[in-house]
Structure 1
Amino acid sequence: MRITTAVTQLLLIVMLMLATQLAAGDDAAPPINIGTAKRLTWDRSLLDKAEGIRFEMHQPRRTGERNLVADKPWESWQLGGMSSLLHENGKFRLWYGVSHGIRHGEEYAVAYAESDDGIRWTKPELGLVEYAGSKKNNLVIAYSSVIGQVFVDPHAKAGEKYKMLAAIFPTKDTDPKRYLTLLSSPDGLTWSRPTQNVVREGDFALDTQSQAFWDRDRKSYVLYTRMGPWRQVGRSESADPFAFPAPQNVMRPDDPVKADYYQAGVTKYEEAANAYFGLVPIFFHPGDERGNPADGNPPLTFTYGKNPITAVAPDTLDIHLFTSNDSIHWQRRGDHVPFLGLGLNGQFDSRSLYPGVGYAVVGPEIWLYYSAYDCTHIESLDGKDPFSKYLGTITRATLRLDGFVSATAGHSGAELLTKPVIFSGDRLELNVDCSAGGHVNVELQTAEGQPLPGYSLAECDRVYHNNIRKVVTWKGQSNLSELAGKPVRMRLVMRDCKLYALQFPATSP
């Protein structure tokens, strides 16, 4: 009897311990070490609670500038569609696709432009590639190649600082199949010849922009390319930039009519940790393979060459925003509202938009470049005489720094509570827009959720106005060095404001 009772008591103790551990849930998880890195508010992995918060996408301001236009013979069918930007040592550098004829592999090439201010661009005569008997042009890679992404490789061998993922199309002198290759360059202008296929397996198409880059957070190379069926986005990852495994699908269309994800448009956002954005051009496909429109409207009719075709969508493309914390799992933002929509009828950007890869930080803004057309996808291929009109403009849009998505609080107020974090800086900065009447108060808590003495909500100096880097203070004091290395929670009580990012930077010595 005594043995049975003892066993029963022991079992009850074990069950109680297990129940306590299960009830603890996330509280038992170790604190998240954020160091001094900025974290964007779209990163829900930091949040424990978000009461009354709306996560809101923000559209950039379109400048209407025609920064680059098709005005050279080698651009006489198309300029842009695919481009890649680097902002180095104050100089804007842009690699972009060009073509001078109807859609054949040998008609694609890569050109180069540069700018000191990001607004006025030049197409330098580089003397590298022959076109029509002359090297007086800005071509860096000859026809039969589709530009991917240009990136700086921190692990490159001497003379190979720059890498470009490019799709090679068949010609009489090359492999009969399209393939992806990685080119190298010491200066971004003189490029190695294609040598090998860097993706040896997988179901993917190569007539649009594929990408590869070094990911400092994941400490590996990441590749994106188009996959089937239809047009979707595939991803691969490798420690070797010259050998990637078969891509896996990471983005699939979810629109009610026939819509394809034309390319990934992914950029690693280097201003914050674990932050990636995808500017995905969604192609509202004219083909009727997927049935009638969901709204029951009659199908549209387009002319393809001399032949009319039935369509369930208007054959146009605009750009939608996707975000990710790990480059694998993506969230489409804006409830299907475009990040960059079409311009007014008759304008240069009224029918088709394609994103560029990369961005520039200029003061309190992010500058984005994208290609714009006043023709639909079919018209750009065959509906217009490709030799009668120079097609394409590369234009610029601007966005607040970190301003893709905000945690927005309305007039009734809202509250954010983070999980326990460990920081290594000495102050807290917020990127927040309170406009005229909004405000934020911040409380620092123990890992268990108790206010820390000196850092309570009541002791916080209320944050007002519109700031990119607002230092939070408590009774006039901002120094948090005594809390560095210790687990703390942040409680933010907000009203009528938009919070974009937070950071614990260290004061420069």
Structure 2
Amino acid sequence: MPPHLISRRCLFAAVSAAAATAKPASSQPAKSPQIEPFDRPRVGEPYELAGKRLLFTDWHHVRPGGFGWYDDRGTNWYVKGSAGPFDLQFKGHDTPMVMQLVAMPAQRHGRLFEADAPWEKGGGFSPGTLIKEDGRFRLWGTSLSPNEQAGAASDSLFSYLESGDGLAWTRPKLGLFEWRGGRDNNILGMKGGTVFMDPSVPASERYKWVSVDSISKAAFLAFQNRRSAATDPQSYSNILDCAACINGAVSADGLRWDPLPEPLVVETSDTQVVAYYDEWLRKYVMYTRNWMIGRRSRGVPDEQAIDWTRSARRSIGRSESGDFRNFPVSEVVFEPGPSMLPSDTLYANCKTTVPGAPDHHLMFPTIWHQADDTTSVGLASSHDGRLWHFVPGSPVFGTAPFEEWDGGCLFAHPNLVELADGRWVLPYTASNLPHKYARGQWKLAAGYAVWPKGRMVALEAAERGEFATLGLIPPGRKLHLNVMTARAGKVLVEVTNLDRKALPGRTFDDATPVVGDHVRTAVTWKGQEDLGHQNGAAVILRFRLERARIFSLEFA
């Protein structure tokens, strides 16, 4: 064993020996050592869900299992004792067997509405943020207004729409912004960006907005002097004579906005910045455009260096802060990996969560395929918002055939929401032309990527499989499954305590097989729906599957 490593057994032996030989410093009784409070949450079982729903988008909630080496009398000789090569038998427990995760492809729905408002005639409408709030659907986005100057690009106008069902949309006459001599419009009068609701602050700042922008050289230098940790020196461009930045704004209603006086952070981002308040961390988290790029040779001075973005791959960055007005420079948390083509980049992040499960972190990153200037939408998962992995089966959505309304390119936007009929929908912007094509005849429109019945990712056993969850505290006394089996398939569920002992009457032998296609079916044991645990106690859920897919668990 290397000298800088020590096994747990050696460590415990050393501690015990030290305790046995140590002499008390005085005749006074020794005081019990005090454990200092942790600065971060403690880890381990049991888990507590932030909502009522649990999805298997990664292995975070699946028990890795364990094993032992047993003799004929049932004694476990795991890393101890002495035995011949064939004296002991291997025995596993709660080891997941013959299971796989499979991302489901999304269906298309759109256009959501026609760009028939006069201020949308310059190129259509691009959604930015969809929020389901108190039974209504709220959509912020960008209207492309025709520019009165011949040959000029369209004006981008931050706009707002509402819907009672997420399907039929209206443009409320807000009276906030004058356009062509009138105020009967849904224009908010500021730059486009993304919006989130902040549950941690007074109502006057309940809504927050973030967006990319730029500042002058003088403003950049002054900001750098005051807030060096929030400044990336490479954000300043000699060619453009300005520095890229991310700005913020606050609002009481999501309509009337107060821009903050200085940037949240000065760094080179682009296209889509998404932020939210993490109630577990008690911090703001922001996802940005970042870059996969190496260090330049020290022998090349700045004046001889070429534009560094030309050799960088677009990636996704993350930053967190206890103060919405002051973020550090983001760090890359998700970059194009070897499973992607070398010409593919992560163009936008589309960070969101699972409906009814705010602790299930998802991204639907737009993947730009530079080999043919098309895009597709991937699905990535994270248990903590920091470490990200593509879900097997990604990408889940792609550019339509050319000459269709969404046949040029498309980009996903937050948030994933649930409609009344159980469909999960994610807004996307689509163009009739490739991403970097001449944009004089570019037409943007809004659509939905749709997962019917809320079936986005399946935990699947093609034949027979089994697994157990990590210990969790159920947020209800009943368990419902979103599940589909073959006619010859089934799902059985057993409930145990943290010692892996089955609760009375909740064994596999007591379980009623779940067979067929069910969006929300109750799990029962000889007709009983109750999980059988004491209130507040943790449980482990064991599953046996035959030719089955589990899409989600829901507690009631």
Where on the TM-score scale, by shorter chain, does this alignment land: which range? 0.7 to 0.9
Other structure's SS at 1:394 match? strand
Unpaired runs of at least 5, structure 2:
1-8, 18-42, 64-94, 221-241, 292-311
- C-alpha separation between the residues in 2 aligned to 1:105 and 1:240? 36
The answer to whether the 8 Å contact 1:82/1:209 transfers is no
Q: Which amino acid letter does the alignment assign opposite residue 336 of structure 2?
A: P
Q: Which amino acid letter does the alignment assign opposite residue 403 of structure 1?
A: R
Q: Which amino acid letter does the alignment assign opposite residue 167 of structure 1?
A: V
Unpaired runs of at least 5, structure 1:
1-9, 19-28, 286-312
Question: Equivalent of 2:541, from 480, 487, 490?
Answer: 490
The answer to whether the 8 Å contact 1:75/1:390 transfers is no
The answer to whether the 8 Å contact 2:497/2:538 transfers is yes
TM-superposed deviation, 1:391? 0.8
Higher gyration radius (CA): 2
Q: State yes or no: 1:67 paired with 2:150.
A: no
Identity %: 27
The answer to whether the 8 Å contact 2:107/2:451 transfers is yes
- C-alpha separation between the residues in 1 aligned to 2:153 and 2:534? 60
Q: Which amino acid letter does the alignment assign opposite residue 445 of structure 2?
A: T
Q: How does 1:230-249 map to 2 (within 5 A)?
A: 230-249=313-332
The answer to whether the 8 Å contact 2:58/2:391 transfers is no
Q: Which residue of 1 aligns with 2:160?
A: 112
Q: Which residue of 2 aligns with 1:391?
A: 443
TM-superposed deviation, 1:76? 4.0
- C-alpha separation between the residues in 1 aligned to 2:365 and 2:11? 55
Question: Equivalent of 1:272, from 335, 339, 357?
Answer: 357
Q: State yes or no: 1:357 paired with 2:420.
A: no
The answer to whether the 8 Å contact 1:70/1:391 transfers is no
CA displacement 1:104-145 (0-9 Å, x = unmatched): 999433111222232222223322223344334321134xx2
The answer to whether the 8 Å contact 2:176/2:188 transfers is yes
CA change 1:75–1:483 in 2 (3 A) is same
Q: How does 1:192-231 map to 2 (within 5 A)?
A: 192-200=258-266, 202=267, 204-206=268-270, 208-228=271-291, 229-231=312-314
Q: Which residue of 1 aligns with 2:341?
A: 256
CA change 1:256–1:277 in 2 (3 A) is same
CA displacement 1:323-359 (0-9 Å, x = unmatched): 1111111111244x42111222321111201112113
Q: Which residue of 2 aligns with 1:55?
A: 101
Q: Which amino acid letter does the alignment assign opposite residue 120 of structure 2?
A: E
- C-alpha separation between the residues in 2 aligned to 1:457 and 1:193? 58
The answer to whether the 8 Å contact 2:480/2:554 transfers is yes
CA change 1:378–1:401 in 2 (3 A) is same
- C-alpha separation between the residues in 1 aligned to 2:44 and 2:274? 35
CA change 1:119–1:106 in 2 (3 A) is closer
Q: Which residue of 1 aligns with 2:206?
A: 161
- C-alpha separation between the residues in 2 aligned to 1:425 and 1:325? 22
RMSD, aligned α-carbons: 3.1
CA change 1:233–1:82 in 2 (3 A) is farther
Q: Which residue of 2 aligns with 1:309?
A: none
- C-alpha separation between the residues in 2 aligned to 1:440 and 1:113? 43
Q: Which residue of 2 aligns with 1:128?
A: 176
CA change 1:53–1:347 in 2 (3 A) is same
Other structure's SS at 2:313 match? coil
TM-superposed deviation, 1:396? 2.0
The answer to whether the 8 Å contact 2:127/2:427 transfers is no
- C-alpha separation between the residues in 1 aligned to 2:471 and 2:132? 36
CA change 1:273–1:90 in 2 (3 A) is closer
- Structure number with greater CO (CA < 8 Å, separation at least 6) is 1
- C-alpha separation between the residues in 1 aligned to 2:154 and 2:403? 31
Question: Equivalent of 1:40, from 55, 73, 94?
Answer: 55
- C-alpha separation between the residues in 1 aligned to 2:45 and 2:395? 36
The answer to whether the 8 Å contact 1:425/1:481 transfers is no
- C-alpha separation between the residues in 2 aligned to 1:171 and 1:74? 30
Q: Give TM-score scaled by structure 2 length.
A: 0.72
Corresponding residue pairs, total:
443
Other structure's SS at 2:195 match? strand
Q: Which amino acid letter does the alignment assign opposite residue 454 of structure 1?
A: G
Q: Which residue of 1 aligns with 2:367?
A: 282
Other structure's SS at 1:413 match? strand
- C-alpha separation between the residues in 2 aligned to 1:338 and 1:193? 36
CA change 1:104–1:257 in 2 (3 A) is farther
- C-alpha separation between the residues in 2 aligned to 1:403 and 1:424? 21
- C-alpha separation between the residues in 2 aligned to 1:136 and 1:263? 33
Question: Equivalent of 1:323, from 354, 376, 381?
Answer: 381
Q: Give TM-score scaled by structure 1 length.
A: 0.79
Q: Which residue of 2 aligns with 1:186?
A: 252
Q: State yes or no: 1:348 paired with 2:414.
A: no
